[in-house]
Amino acid sequence: METCQQNAARYYMLGNKLIRRSYSGPHLTCIKYPQTLEVLYKIHDDECGNHSGGRSLAHKALNIGYFWPTMRHDSAEYVKKCDCCQRYKPIPNLPTEVYHPQNSPWPFMQWAIDLVGPLPPAPAKKEMMIVATDYFTKWIEAEALSSTKEADVERFIWRNIICREKERRRRRRNLGRIFLWGNLLPQYSYSMASSLCFRQLELLSFDIGIFMMTVLLEKLDIVISGLVCLK
């Protein structure tokens, strides 16, 4: 009731017209549909109209002394439906947001591969985990390993990356001893990009992957050791 009384104090009756008090200009005449469309047409499309935008159109309606509660929304919708505005209005060439540099131009083109561990022992003595993170989508491929031999790493890459992607891809790996294979990737026309250990770019990609894995584990209420057992 108090809110209604406060809002009612802004209005008064002048004959048969409802008037809204305005402290920054003339008092405003309250109108309703279809009078609102007539006012918008005269301001926007008539002889003196300049096909202004939605915000400017609503402001002009206020300046000449008209008011209705949804005038901003109605003005924006009216401009969207104007045929001349849609056909001849200049299209802005500025992007909607700032461009962000991308290391990978499309999904599953470039991967970062690293080892995680040692983890709590699981069946089959699996204490290590190899993780591959896609640079574009942050998609994760992970598998528990009982050893960190070159054959185990090659088997993981063949099964989880090469067999799923037939096109040429680029792999980025740390200069660790396990990742110094020389025959697998060139054999299938894959290129490798070497990087220093603990490089900031690698850590950033790996940290994002670990965060996504943690969120997934929390949602499923599964501990890391249980995930290793499944692998």
Instruction: Please choose, from the candidates 12, 77, 78, 8, the residue with its C-alpha nearest in 3D space to the C-alpha of residue 43.
Output: 78
Is the peptide bond between 120 and the residue preceding it cis, with omega within 30 degrees of 0?
A: no
- The model's pLDDT over 185-200, given as tens digits with 9 standing for 90+, comes to 555 555 555 554 444 4
Q: What is the pTM of this model?
A: 0.40
Mean pLDDT of the residues in the chain: 72
165: confidence class by pLDDT, cuts 50, 70, 90: low
Give me the domains of the chain, ranges plus CATH numbers.
2-88 (1.10.340.70), 110-230 (3.30.420.10)
**Residue 188: predicted pLDDT:** 53
**Residue 94: predicted pLDDT:** 74
Say if strands 170-174 and 110-116 run parallel, antiparallel, or are unpaired. Answer: parallel
Is 123 exposed, middle or buried (CB count within 10 Å of its CB: 0-12, 13-18, 19+)? exposed
